[in-house]
Amino acid sequence: MSSIQTSSSRSLSARPAITASLEARTGLDDEVLRELVHAFYGKIRNDSVLGPIFAARIDDWPPHLERMTAFWSSVALMTGRYHGAPVPKHVGLPIDWGHFERWLTLFRETAKEICTPAGAAHVIERAERIARSLNFAVEDARGTGIPNLA
Ligand code: HEM
Distant-in-sequence, close-in-space partners of 104: CB < 8 Å, separation ≥ 6 = 127, 128, 131
Answer whether 51 contacts ligand 1 (Cβ < 6 A).
no
Angle between helices 117-142 and 30-46 (to 10 degrees): 60
Give the pLDDT confidence of 19-70 residue by residue, as tens digits: 999 999 999 999 999 999 999 999 999 999 999 999 999 999 999 999 999 9
Answer whether 95 contacts ligand 1 (Cβ < 6 A).
yes
Answer whether 89 contacts ligand 1 (Cβ < 6 A).
yes
Q: Whose CA is nearest to atom 25 of ligand 1?
A: 131
Query: 131: CA distance to ligand 1 center in Å?
Result: 10
Give the pLDDT confidence of 5-29 residue by residue, as tens digits: 444 444 445 568 999 999 999 999 9
